Amino acid sequence: MSTLEIKDLHVSVETKEGRKQILKGATLTVHSGETHAIMGPNGSGKSTLAYTLAGHPKYEVDSGQALLDGHDLLKMTPDERAKAGLFLAMQYPVEVPGVSMTNFLRTAKTEVDGKAPAIRQWTKDLNEAMKRLRMDPKFAQRSVNEGFSGGEKKRAEVLQLELLKPKFAILDETDSGLDVDALRIVSEGVNRAKENTGMGVLMVTHYTRILKYIKPDIVHVFADGRFVKTGGPELADTLEETGYDQYLPEGADSE
C-alpha cells in the first residue's frame, strides 16, 4: 500500500509580466487503488499541479510538500520521481523526433525498474499491450509522438502507463480530443493497469463522460490553485449541472 501526499503546495512561475502564483495551498492524499477525479475550470492550475509533481523545472515550489510513501518528491529529479513510482500522462504529449517508441519505452522501463527487461518477455508485453490499445505495430518503429494524431498520442501515453506500472498515475485530460471508441480503448487500458498493479490514479478532466468508463472513488473540485470541494462520484453529476462559477473567487469567470 502506497500513499501520495500533497500538503499545502504553493507554486509559482516566472512570466513576462513577472512572478505569478498558480498553486495556492493544494492539499490532497491518494492511496493505492484509489481513483480521484480532479475537475475544475480552465486555468485553475490542474496541469501546474501535475507538472510540479512530475518535476517540470518551470514550476517553482514556494512552500508545501509532496511525499510518496514519506519520501520527498520535490527533492528528486524527474527521473528519480519516475523511479519512485510516479507517472504523468501529459495533457500535450511532447514529440521526440529521432527516438523510436520501442527504444524510448525500453529505456524508460530499464530506468524505472533499475534493470533492463528480459528481451523476449518485453517484446511480448509490448506487442500485446499495443494490440489491446488497437495500435498498429508499425507505431513501435515511429518516433515518439511525431506526427501522431491527438488520439494516437493519448494511446501512446496509456501504453507507457501499462508497461511502466507506476504506483501513481496522473492523467492530465487523457480523455480530451478522443472520439467515443478511442475513449473506451484508452479507458480500458487505464482500468487494466489499475487492476494489474493496484495503482492510485489522479485523473484531471473537464468532462464527466470519462467517469462512466473509469469510475472515480472520490471527486474533487479544483479552483484558483487549490482543492475547494471533495465528494463522491455524485459530485461530478452536480458539477455538470451547476458549473464551476460558485467555486470561483469574486469577479472571476470560468471559461
- The residue ranges that bind Mg ion (CB under 5 A) are 42, 46-47, 91
Is residue 22 within the footprint of ligand ADP (CB under 6 A)?
yes
From the list Mg ion, ligand ADP, none, pick the one residue 44 interacts with, judged by a Cβ distance below 5 to 8 Å according to partner type: ligand ADP
Q: State in angstroms the smallest separation of the CB of 66 from ligand ADP.
A: 16
Helix (H, G, I), strand (E, B) or coil at 242: helix
Q: State in angstroms the smallest separation of the CB of 249 from ligand ADP.
A: 13
Q: Which is nearer to ligand ADP, 28 or 126 (CB)?
A: 28
Beta strand residue intervals within the chain, DSSP E: 3-15, 18-31, 35-39, 60-68, 71-72, 86-89, 96-100, 143-144, 168-172, 200-204, 218-223, 226-231
Distance CA 61, CA 196 (A): 33
DSSP string, 65-90: EEEETTEEGGGS-HHHHHHHTEEEE-
Is residue 74 within the footprint of ligand ADP (CB under 6 A)?
no
Place of cell 498553486: 23
Q: Which is nearer to ligand ADP, 45 or 85 (CB)?
A: 45
Q: State in angstroms the smallest separation of the CB of 37 from Mg ion.
A: 14
Q: Which is nearer to ligand ADP, 194 or 226 (CB)?
A: 226
Kindly list the residues in this chain that would bind ligand ADP in the complex (CB under 6 A). 13, 15, 20, 22, 40, 42-48, 58
